Amino acid sequence: AFDNAVSLVAAKTKGIKSLVAGNADILVVPDLESGNMVAKQLEYLANALMAGVVLGARVPIVLTSRADTAETRTASCAVVQLMAHRKREALAR
């Protein structure tokens, strides 16, 4: 659950023992609508910096929103560049 991923107190209260409880670096969602909802909540309620990226395609894909700031669009491009670089490194091995 979301609270266990972002709050160690919540995880401990529920008896969850995990190295990532309350310290998640990434949140995985089941579909686009859920992901959009979580992303918008983090962006607008927690002032989180967003980066829209589609995973699992042959090439990295930037996915932005019409309401995205220049900062968010730049972050999305930077993440995609890092992904492409890592993929090229892996293929070179």
Q: What is the pLDDT of residues 25-81, one digit of tens each?
A: 888 899 989 988 998 899 899 998 888 888 888 888 998 889 899 999 999 999 999
d(CA 3, CA 33): 19
Residue reference for tokens 């930077």: 78
pLDDT of amino acid 1: 87
| Top-confidence range, 13-17, 24-28, 84-88 | 13-17
d(CA 87, CA 89): 5
pLDDT of amino acid 74: 95
pLDDT of amino acid 55: 83
The length of the chain, given as a count of residues = 93
Domain residue ranges in the chain: 1-28, 31-93
User: How far is the first Cα of the chain from the last one, in angstroms, to the nearest whole number?
Assistant: 37
Residue reference for tokens 């579909």: 31
pLDDT of 85 higher than 90: yes
| pTM as predicted | 0.67
d(CA 25, CA 41): 16
CB 60 within 8 A of CB 84: yes
Helix, strand, or coil (residue 35): helix
